[in-house]
Structures are given as C-alpha cells and as structure tokens.
C-alpha cells in the first residue's frame, strides 16, 4: 500500500483519507458498521489494496432510512426556502471544483481512469450538473388553471396544482465514473426538496465518501 501511494504521489490529506476504514455516512455523521467485516478497495492498475470500507447490512439500511425519513419530515430541507436550497447546491458545486485535484486522484486510484480525464471531464460534469439543477430550484412552480365548473352567481373557484417533493429517494450507482454518477443522481432529487440515501458500488466507493465529507 505504501509503495502504491508513493508511486501516485498523492497528498498527505489523501494518504490520511485512504488510511482509514470508511464507514457509513448516516444522519450527518460517520458511523461504524455493525460487523467487523471490511471490503478491500483495489487499485485496478496495480491490483494492490489502497483502502477499505466497512460492510453494511440490514441494520445500517434501517438506520439510513429512519434518518432520511426524519430529515424529510422535519422540513429542514424539504420546506427550506427555495433560494436557500439553491444557494447550498451552488456552494457544493464550488467545493467540488475547489477539490478537483483530490477527487481526480481518488477516482484514478479507485477505477483506473486517468486523472486528466477525470479533472477535465468528470469533475466539471459533476459541478455543472449541480449548478444546472440548483438553477431549477426557484423555478419549480405549480399552475393556476381556469375553472369551467358551473357555479352560482357571485361564487368563484380557484383551481391550482402544486409540485411537492416525493420524500426519501433511494439511489444506487455503478462503478464507472462514480463521482459524476453520484452527483447526477442526487442533484435533481435534492433540488426538488427530497432527501437521498445513496448506495455506491463497493468496487469504487472512495470518491462518494469524499463527496459526503464535502457536503
């Protein structure tokens, strides 16, 4: 592992990130899995182990679903002012761009993509997706509809539609370009006011763990 890290010349921050056993980000904090089992993270370019993630099971799923449901029902996100929700998503896009180097290194180690491709395409794609959906937050509107219903003289009817978040959204992403895939999944759901449970591929979990730290 040390040989691989030295070869990749990664930063001390990423060395520390890779050196820990990654748990589950639930209810705004990292928690350990209910078992001692870990899953090794393999660098496909060398076949060497570069990190480890903790195995999750039914207990962790229940914790995640419960936390997500409480978060949605509380309204802390779903009933937040649209302009404020948009501001947070725009800020996350800025953070992604600011950490483009670290994200690109992680993705290169995790799935074998070139750092240049990840930095010039993957990270920019993720940031642009966030900004696109952040721009929609203040434009998700209902509609007032002209009503042809018969009515008594002097009576009026108001007919309208209202768009509301559906609730808790469960999302599963594959191993190829997991960072961009994760953002592509969470961005529209968060923009609509939903809360998200994201399950990354166990073959390539590192960049999504880093995304959780940024968020």
Instruction: Quote the CA–CA distance of 200 and 207 in Å, as a whole number.
Output: 9
**Where residue 33 sits, what CATH number does that domain have?**
3.40.605.10
Question: What was the pLDDT predicted at 9?
Answer: 65
54: which 2 tokens?
């903790």
Question: What was the pLDDT predicted at 145?
Answer: 87
Kindly provide the b/e burial profile for residues 165-186, where b requires at least 16 CB atoms within 10 angstroms of the residue's own CB: beebbeeebeeebbbbbbbbbb
182: which 2 tokens?
């994760």
Question: What was the pLDDT predicted at 175?
Answer: 92
For residue range 18-34, what is the model confidence (pLDDT) as tens digits?
988 889 999 999 998 77
Question: What was the pLDDT predicted at 171?
Answer: 97
Our count of domains for the chain comes to 1
Q: Determine the structural domain holding residue 21 and report its residue range.
A: 2-214
* Residue pair 108/204 in contact by the 8 Å Cβ criterion: no
Query: Which parts of the chain register pLDDT below 50?
Result: 1-7
115: which 2 tokens?
């750092």
Question: What was the pLDDT predicted at 59?
Answer: 93
């Amino acid at each position: 592992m040390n040989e691989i890290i030295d070869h990749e010349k990664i930063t001390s921050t990423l060395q520390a990130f890779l050196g820990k056993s990654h748990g589950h980000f639930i209810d705004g904090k990292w928690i350990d899995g209910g078992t001692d089992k870990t899953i090794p993270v393999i660098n496909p370019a060398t076949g060497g182990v570069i990190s480890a993630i903790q195995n999750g099971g039914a207990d962790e799923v229940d914790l995640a679903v419960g936390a997500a449901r409480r978060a949605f029902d509380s309204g802390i996100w779903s009933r937040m002012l649209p302009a404020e929700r948009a501001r947070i998503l725009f800020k996350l896009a800025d953070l992604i761009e600011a950490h483009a180097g670290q994200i690109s290194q992680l993705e290169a180690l995790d799935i074998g993509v070139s750092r240049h491709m990840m930095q010039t395409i993957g990270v920019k794609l993720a940031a642009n997706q966030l900004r696109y959906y952040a721009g929609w937050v203040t434009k998700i509107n209902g509609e007032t509809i002209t009503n042809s219903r018969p009515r008594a003289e002097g009576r009026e009817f108001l007919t309208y539609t209202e768009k509301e978040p559906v609730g808790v959204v469960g999302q599963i992403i594959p191993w190829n370009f997991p960072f961009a895939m994760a953002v592509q999944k969470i961005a529209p759901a968060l923009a609509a006011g939903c809360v998200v449970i994201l399950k990354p591929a166990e073959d390539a979990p590192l960049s999504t763990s880093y995304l959780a730290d940024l968020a």
